[in-house]
Amino acid sequence: MNDAPKPVRVAVGLWLAIAVFVLFTTIGLWFQRGEIERMSGRPSGDVTNFLVALTVVGVLFAALYGWLTRNFLRRKNWARVAVSFVAIAHMLWLLIVGTSPATLVTLLLICVAIVFTWQSAAAQWVAEVREK
């Protein structure tokens, strides 16, 4: 990563930060389980099923971000494209599930990460491998 231009380093940092933030947010929801039950008025089993679904999706997104970021660092252009599509799917998922301060932070981080991922310096850096 030492030879990567600044936009690539920033993008990689943001993608990894998003992955970690998603995991911490998901863990935080489990600590708020009682509050979620009280606010939703749903039975305990329904809240548990909801949290399990959110956990599975959160871990899936975090794993995809980690794996795709690793491949992006290996100068794989397909990973740059794929992480962008995963991010768009993640954004849609967040908007469907509902907004919260954590959701808004995640959406902002994703937008900034996409911008850095698609800067011309990042494209040139990935393209250098194909030229050699």
What are the φ and ψ backbone dihedral angles of 4, each rounded to 5 degrees? -75, 140
How far apart are alpha carbons 21 and 2 in whole angstroms?
25
**What digits encode the pLDDT tens for the residues 78-108?**
999 999 999 999 999 999 988 889 999 999 9
Q: What is the DSSP letter of 119?
A: S
Q: What is the DSSP letter of 33?
A: H
Contact between 105 and 20 (Cβ < 8 Å): no
Look at the pTM and tell me if it is higher than 0.75.
yes
Taking the domains of the chain in order of start, what are their residue ranges? 6-131
Q: Specify the pLDDT at position 97.
A: 86
Instruction: Using DSSP, state whether 18 is helix, strand or coil.
Output: helix
For the residues of 67-98, what is the DSSP string, one character each?
HHHHHHHTT-HHHHHHHHHHHHHHHHHHHHH-
Instruction: Using DSSP, state whether 4 is helix, strand or coil.
Output: coil
Contact between 33 and 41 (Cβ < 8 Å): no
Q: Specify the pLDDT at position 1.
A: 62
